[in-house]
Amino acid sequence: MRALKPVHPVIRGLHAAGAGRQGLASPLHIRARKPAAPDIENHEQAKEEYLIVLKELTKDKKRIQRETILKRDSSEWLSLRRNLLTASNFGIVIKRRLNIKCAPWVKNLLYKQNLYHVSAHTHGIKNEEIALEQLAVQERVNIEPCDIFIDEELLFIGASPDGLIGTDMC
């Protein structure tokens, strides 16, 4: 007596429906379809559109830096920061394994309404003012408030330091 092989549910359904007897393709001739290759052109087009929008958003860097000082969580600050790779989220990019999909992370980065899910952001909000005061006293320096800086060439990379010391600025 030979052992019965498990039958795939789709094939089992075709047998039950009598697909082979009604002139339809026999389950034995059904081939597994290869998954469609990702549409690289669509990805490239989406990337180009994203970079154009980002270029427009970041066109006036000096104004952005001036207007976002001390305005964390303002709509402009959130909009810009959401579209930038910063120190708060760069670790995820660097540590990501190649076999792990990045789409959920990218969605999370681009479409989250706030940044409270980023532990570095939450920690910074809680401790930033005290840390800046302690640093200013310890180092005997004046710390000027600032906010978002955007790379001149790689518009998707930015920084939002807690303050600036001295005149040698980005």
Q: DSSP letters of 29-70?
A: G--PPPPPPP-HHHHHHHHHHHHHHHHHHTS-HHHHHHHTTT
Amino acid at 45: Q
For 36-51, how does the pLDDT look when each residue is reduced to its tens digit (9 = 90+)?
Answer: 555 556 777 877 887 8
Q: Given pLDDT bands bounded at 50, 70 and 90, which one contains residue 133?
A: very high
Task: Give the architecture-level CATH label for domain 44-163.
Answer: Alpha-Beta Complex (3.90)
Check: CB of residue 152 under 8 Å from CB of residue 159: no
C-alpha 41/C-alpha 51 separation (Å) is: 15
Q: Would the pTM of this model clear 0.75, i.e. be above it?
A: no
Domain boundaries, the chain: 44-163
